[in-house]
Amino acid sequence: MLSKAERIKRSKAPASSGEWGDRLPPGQTLTEKFPILHEGDIPRYDMDAWDFRVFGEVEEARTFSYNDLLALPRTRVETDIHCVTRWSKFDTVWEGVRFTELLKLLKVKPEAKYVMVHADPDYDTNVPLEDLMGDDVLLAFRYNDEPLSDKHGGPLRLLVPHLYFWKSAKWIRGFEFMKEDRQGYWEVRGFHSYGDPFTEQRFSEDDMYMPEDEWHHKDYD
């Protein structure tokens, strides 16, 4: 069986639609639906036992309860999202706590340059610390003015809208601050370490393609 990266590398890219100007990244198709993509089963939680861990290059490792996070100042973000399987969705609305808001409670060591985002079930993804500093990077718990559904990552997911959506991990459980970059779940499986949709950083090797219909057979709502 071909890996996901190998399978999509072997197919052709769709003709790029210019009608959205610079807003739709190259090789993406717009969808009104909200596809549901993940590996493994949707986790079930006892929220009293749920925790969020911060560790690695910090002066002091910390554990937060869900209520600790809910008590932080909240932000609403309206943004476009772009999945490496070629769908983009415009004007999605999220509510949550900015990464920078959580950062105020932490003493991150100056050597920390990358973050490994740890998520259930056995998912992780690497993001440069710098890329988490934007005003639109959230630990999100609401989507379109409702509690974030479990299939889309509730009770808590990361939102990093300027990178391909696999970086926006669902069911997040912790941040590990790191000196050096390290690859996460999809990154070790052939996907790009950084993942900029506008320069099509889909794979770790350049000259590969992603079919336009990779996501059509998936679930969505």
Interface with ligand MTE by CB under 6 A: which residues?
34-39, 83, 119-120, 123, 152-153, 165-166, 168-171
Of 30 and 70, the one with the shorter C-beta distance to Mo ion is 30
Cα 28 from Cα 21, distance rounded (Å): 12
Q: Which does 171 bind (CB under 5 to 8 A by kind): Mo ion, ligand MTE, none?
A: ligand MTE
Of 169, 139, 1, 165, nearest to 75 by C-alpha is: 139
Query: Binds 184, which of ligand MTE, Mo ion, none (CB < 5 to 8 A, cut-off by type)?
Result: none
User: Contact region for Mo ion (CB under 5 A) — 5-13, 92-100, 127-135, 165-173?
Assistant: 165-173
**CA-CA distance, 189 to 6, in Å (whole number)?**
9
Alpha-carbon radius of gyration of the chain: 17
The tokens describing 110, both together, are 């100056």
Report the largest interatomic distance among the alpha carbons of the chain, rounded to a whole angstrom.
50
- CB-nearer residue toward ligand MTE: 38 or 202: 38
- Residues 25, 35: contact at Cβ < 8 Å? no
- Cβ proximity to ligand MTE: between 171 and 203 the closer is 171
176 binding partner (options Mo ion, ligand MTE, none; Cβ < 5 to 8 Å by kind):
none
| Minimum CB–partner distance for residue 221 and ligand MTE (Å) | 9
186 binds Mo ion (CB under 5 A): no
Query: Minimum CB separation from ligand MTE for residue 113, in Å?
Result: 22
Alpha-helical regions (H) of the chain? 4-9, 66-70, 99-103
Q: Judged by CB under 5 A, does residue 94 bind Mo ion?
A: no
Measured CA to CA in angstroms, residue 196 lies from 1, 52, 128, 163 at distances of: 28, 27, 12, 5
For residue 102, state whether it binds Mo ion (rule: CB under 5 A).
no
| Residues near Mo ion (CB under 5 A) | 37, 83-84, 166
